[in-house]
């Protein structure tokens, strides 16, 4: 059988199979499309790393995240999305990058409640993706509930840090 490992390569493999990532790079347009999708996945991974650092860090790290670390990432995604409906090349048809960015933004909002309200373009993007039938079904599924039950905010709505259990 065929073995595909590593999240990003698996994402691209599945994306190619279902038409959400270019299947060939025969033209410079194809190369640029792949580059944009790869860049968006990398940007989502960078925000995801910041999310994880805040989730597992001490209170000081959580406050730094809420007050400073998250905002450059959110501003960058706002700039990259612009007036488009999605992040994909051309801003029309979805790619694997849109789902990766969506997931990362959802986690950021869960950890820092209200952050998407400061970035209305991103909030509308998240709403559009969440409204897609397959995503809506997943979001209400028991499996997703089990997977996200342990994700907790890193800051309170008033901006104060949530203390991890080991600091209480």
Determine the structural domain holding residue 77 and report its residue range: 25-167
Q: Within a domain: residue 4?
A: no
Tell me, what CATH number does 102's domain have?
1.20.1050.10
Residue 143 lies in a domain: yes
Q: How confident is the model at residue 154 (pLDDT cuts 50, 70, 90)?
A: low
pLDDT tens by residue, 77-128? 999 999 988 887 776 678 889 999 999 999 888 878 888 999 999 999 999 9
Whether residue 155 is contained in a domain is answered as: yes
What tokens does 134 get? 């397959």
Task: Establish if 116 belongs to a structural domain.
Answer: yes
Any domain includes 100: yes
The pTM for the full model equals 0.78
Evaluate whether residue 6 is within a structural domain: no
- The answer on pLDDT for 156 being more than 80 is no
> Residue 130: pLDDT above 90?
yes
Q: What is the mean pLDDT of residues 117-143?
A: 91
Q: Could you tell me which residues come within 8 angstroms of residue 96 by beta carbon, excluding any fewer than 6 positions away?
A: 11, 12, 14, 15, 20, 21, 37, 41
In a domain, 135, yes or no: yes
């Amino acid at each position: 059988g065929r073995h595909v490992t590593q999240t990003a390569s698996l994402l691209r493999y599945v994306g190619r199979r279902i038409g959400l990532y270019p299947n060939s790079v025969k033209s410079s347009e194809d190369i640029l499309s792949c580059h944009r999708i790869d860049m968006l996945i990398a940007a989502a991974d960078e925000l995801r790393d910041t999310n994880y650092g805040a989730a597992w860090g001490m209170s000081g790290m959580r406050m730094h995240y809420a007050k400073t670390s998250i905002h450059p990432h959110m501003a960058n995604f706002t700039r990259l999305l612009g007036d488009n409906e999605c992040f994909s090349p051309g801003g029309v048809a979805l790619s694997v990058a849109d789902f990766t960015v969506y997931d990362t933004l959802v986690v950021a909002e869960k950890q820092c409640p209200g952050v998407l309200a400061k970035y209305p373009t991103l909030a509308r993007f998240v709403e559009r993706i969440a409204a897609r039938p397959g995503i809506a079904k997943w979001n209400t599924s028991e499996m997703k509930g089990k997977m996200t039950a342990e994700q907790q905010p890193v800051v309170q709505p008033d901006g104060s840090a949530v203390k991890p259990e080991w600091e209480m």
